[in-house]
Structure 1
Amino acid sequence: MACHSPTDISGQLEGTINKDTKIYLIEPNGLREVAASYLGKVIDSTLVNSDGSFEFQNLPKTKEAKLFELAIQQSDKSPNYLQTDNPNKANYMPILWQPGESLQIAAKLDEFQKSFSIEYPSETNKGLLDLRDIKQRAYQTFLAGKHWNVENGSQLLEKEHAILQYQNKLITFADSTKYLMPALVALRWVSPENDYERVPEFLVSQCEKWTKKQPDNPWVKQLCAESDRANLPVLIGDVFPNLELPMLTKDTLTIKSQLGNKLTIVDLWASWCAPCRKENREVLVPLWDLYHGQGLQIIAYALESDETAWKEAAEHDGASKWLQASDLQGDDAPFLKKIRIQTIPANFILDDKGLVIAKNIHGKALLDFVKTYINK
């Protein structure tokens, strides 16, 4: 191991080191750059010695703690390329460096993030390592080795459910941790693509949590800008907008005027959406038959441009039993823009006042939810 000063970042890698193996010190310049490939700024780099040792020599002169990412590159990839798809192969690890602090690191070359450790980590870095472990376990439990047939959409909801279970482990960590940086990394690991359409409540709750604790922190201000409700889908706890809908029957009706006495499902679907069609036949039809007389309403909005295809699909599935609406503008549907949704299948579950009490529940989970709610 090379000698190191009391304020550097250095360490030891285990594995076969080639002469071009480098480690880069990357600084994300904002929340969207955390855990995002090709975006962070390269601050320093160092060749890994043949014995696996490395040391950074040019740490920034600063009085503030810095969130860095250490990324190892063994090929001609860009220095700030981060492998974000598979935690088992991730080539980077976020760390918090305090000025005047020495970080001594150990890791395996081919399992850099998975094996990454810090000698005597700070509480924040311990939080990051704990988060890494939670991510690894969640990935192994819900996603590793799993394959879904999504080409025809038949297992799209199953895949989405597995991803949500994985994300929920990270969300639970972020909700419970006392440390901001591990919470922000968890938020970015929930969706490296920065797509929170399915979990917007998570963004809002994180903004509220950290605004109470650190209102002037620039990272918190970025977080709250990302969680602006005006840019997010309608949230659980919101009153669903009382929008006018052009119906298949040629009428124009408002959401509020059509609410069920107990429960309303606002269902977003399309004739070309295989999991939507399956949901119609296997879930919504049985629910309608069982509970419409007990106060259940279904308001369906279809992303259609062809009225004939829409009508035929609704009739074939038995979905013409309930209210069917569409602007017949396909993916450019005004209704989806107003509730800020881009992905289907989707649904919102409303109480008798139009308050969103749940959303995006499908299959057996939806059957059970409606049964329990109606019968309570």
Structure 2
Amino acid sequence: MHLLKKIPAFLLVILSFTACTTSPSISGKIEGIEKENATVYLIQPATFQDVAASYLGKIIDSAIVKSDGSFRFKHLPTGKEPTLLELAVQPTGKTGSYLENDNPKEANYMPIVYQFGEPIHITAKYNEFQQSFKLDQPSEINKALLALRDIKSTAYQTYLAEKKWQVEEGDELMAKEHAVLQYQKALMEFADGTMQLFPALVALRWVSPEKDYERVPEFLVDQCNKWNKTQPDHPWVKQLCKKSEPENLPVLIGDEFPNIQLPMMTKDTLLLNDLLGKKLTIVDLWASWCAPCRIENRKVLVPLYNEYHEQGLEIVAYALESDEAAWKAAATRDGADRWLQASDLQGDDAPFLKKIRVRTIPANFILDSNGVVIVKNLHGEELTNLVESNFEK
């Protein structure tokens, strides 16, 4: 008390104001909790791969939700740089770092960016945590994250919600893949358009929480190139660019397709470059046991081959087979024996797949006359339209 008397009153006011304005806090209120049976966790992803990933982020604090729905964290990052955090709500006793990613409406977490000294107050509903998540006076970067959340929710409702595909049916499996890609494109467009690193990286991780970018590797490369220009020293940018190195991704659009030796159904071994069509080549990956592949053979590739082969279209098919008799029978039955067929007869362990770094079929690469990939993984009507447009020029 004696010391305080020596400090002028106006200095006490300044000190008090400074303490209030720099005191960090993250607090909020969660609606829809009938009793004290929920805990909110504050999770800090240590790496790019940890973002939006269950069990990987570090729990730096937790707070039991009180009977009035309120909570407050006490232990926050002290660094001066903005930090990406995730708030996750769980029934008390459930693993805190579990993040629900299957359905945005049921997602139990929300990423935010925390800047030391800036208080954050949130409101949300317990059973629709991510979808209902709101911030009082959000910063620009958190506004971007909220906008991304809305884009994700709308895209999910548009393309995936309540869809029940019978994936054992070839047409339905391809329809599901197309719908997933449309959902991903909405997130990719956001990432391409924003100049905020953390929201872009969250979008990138929401594109595939499973970390599988086989169908959209060009997006990964584009994001690496974009952020490498502006923030090359950020550790997460370095991790992103490591993941987007050529040896980690399938052959990209714009790449020259590898001139691989192919063991043909005719027992010859031929180089791919010697098989290219005069104008267009479809390198088609298929298997006798792959229902959508078989449908594509009969409904799409046979008509295209019949119409355009003499004009410069070639199809080089590679089959993931271990049974030669089954391969030949399926090709004959589908009419696929009309075009070039190759297989190492080593099933999923095929050397060809390893060289082009592909794990999922059906897949295809459409090459120009020089063997450069101009587009890939087009199926059905989209593939037909692409081929027709190239021969109508």
TM-score by length of 2: 0.93
1:19-58 pair list within 5 angstroms? 19-58=36-75
DSSP-derived class of the 1:121 partner: coil
Q: Which moved more, 1:182-191 or 1:8-17?
A: 8-17
Q: Percent identity?
A: 64
1:43-91 deviations in whole A, cap 9, x for unaligned?
0000111111111111122222211100000253201011110000000
TM superposition shift of 1:5? 7.9
Contact 1:17-1:48 within 8 A present in 2 as well: no
Q: In 1, distance between residues paired with 2:213 and 2:155?
A: 18
Supply the distance in 2 between the matched residues of 1:75 and 1:280 (Cα, whole angstroms): 53
Match of 2:160 among 143, 147, 152: 143
Name the structure 2 match of 1:220: 237
Matches within 5 A, 1:228-267: 228-267=245-284
Does residue 273 of structure 1 match 2:290?
A: yes
- Structure number with higher helix proportion: 2
The aligned runs of 1:287-298 (5 Å cut-off) are 287-298=304-315
The one of 24, 27, 50 aligned to 1:7: 24
| Superposition pairs of residues 183-202 of structure 1, within 5 angstroms | 183-202=200-219
On the 8 A contact 1:4/1:10 being kept in 2, the answer is no
Per the alignment, residue 134 of structure 2 pairs with 117
Residue 82 of structure 1 pairs with residue 99 of structure 2: yes
Q: Secondary structure at the match of 2:315?
A: strand
CA drift of 1:333 comes to 0.3
Contact 1:26–1:44 (8 Å) recurs in 2 = yes
SS, match of residue 183 in structure 2: helix
The answer as to 2:359 corresponding to 1:342 is yes
Asked whether the equivalents of residues 17 and 49 of structure 1 are also in contact (C-alpha less than 8 Å), the reply is no
SS at match of 1:257: helix
Q: Deviations for 1:162-197, whole angstroms, at most 9, x for unmatched residues?
A: 000000000000000010000000000000000000
C-alpha displacement at 1:361, in angstroms? 0.2
> Match of 2:110, as an amino acid?
M
Distance in 1 (CA, whole Å) between partners of 2:297 and 2:156 is 31
Matched residue, 2:81: 64
- CA separation in 2, counterparts of 1:152 and 1:346? 17
For 1:152 and 1:186, how far apart are their aligned partners in 2? 31
How far, CA to CA, are the matches of 2:214 and 2:92 in structure 1?
35
- Rounded to whole Å, the distance in 1 between the matches of 2:35 and 2:302 is 62
- Name the CA distance, whole Å, in 1 between partners of 2:277 and 2:286: 20
Aligned-pair distance for 1:370?
0.4
2:316: which partner in 1?
299
Supply the RMSD in Å over aligned alpha carbons: 1.3
Following superposition, the deviation at residue 22 of structure 1 comes to 0.7
Q: CA deviation at 1:323?
A: 0.2
Matching residue within 176, 191, 194 for 2:193: 176
Q: SS of 1:76's equivalent?
A: coil
Query: Shift of residue 100 of structure 1?
Result: 1.0
Q: Is the 8 A contact 2:22 2:118 kept in 1?
A: no
Question: In structure 2, how many angstroms separate the alpha carbons of the residues matched to 1:300 and 1:151?
Answer: 22
Distance across 2 between alignment mates of 1:358 and 1:277: 21
Cα shift readout 1:248-284 (whole Å, capped 9, x = no counterpart): 0001111111111110000000001000000000000
- Could you tell me how far apart the structure 2 residues matched to 1:4 and 1:18 are? 33
1: CA distance, partners of 2:177 / 2:92 = 33
Q: Secondary structure at the match of 2:104?
A: coil
- Give the Cα–Cα distance (whole angstroms) in 2 for the partners of residues 214 and 172 of structure 1: 20
- Count matched residues: 374
Residues 130-180 of structure 1: CA deviation (Å, up to 9, x unaligned): 000000000000000111111354421110000000000000000000100
The superposition leaves residues 301-356 of structure 1 with CA deviations (integer Å, 9 ceiling, x where unpaired) of: 00000111000000000000000000000110000000000000000000011110
Contact 1:4 1:55 in 2 (8 A): no
Q: Which amino acid counterpart does residue 302 of structure 2 have in structure 1?
A: V
For 1:198-213, list aligned pairs within 5 A: 198-213=215-230
Task: Answer yes or no: is the 8 Å Cα contact 2:21–2:117 preserved in 1.
Answer: no
Q: Does 1:365 align with 2:362?
A: no
Q: Distance in 2 between matches of 1:174 and 1:160?
A: 21
Contact 2:39 2:92 in 1 (8 A): no
Counterpart amino acid of residue 212 in structure 1 = K
Corresponding residue number in structure 1 for 2:11: none
The structure with more radius of gyration: 2
CA distance in 1, matches of 2:94, 2:75: 22
Distance in structure 2 (CA, Å) of the matches to 1:160 and 1:64? 39
Return 76-85 or 152-161, whichever deviates more: 152-161
Give CA-to-partner distance per residue, 1:100-156, whole Å, 9 cap, x none.
111111111111000101111111111110000000000000000111111354421
- Give the secondary structure class of the aligned counterpart of 1:26: strand
Q: Which amino acid counterpart does residue 86 of structure 2 have in structure 1?
A: E
Structure 1, unaligned stretches of length 5 or more?
none
1-side partners of 2:267 and 2:41: how far apart? 62
Distance of 1:89 and 1:368 partners within structure 2: 38
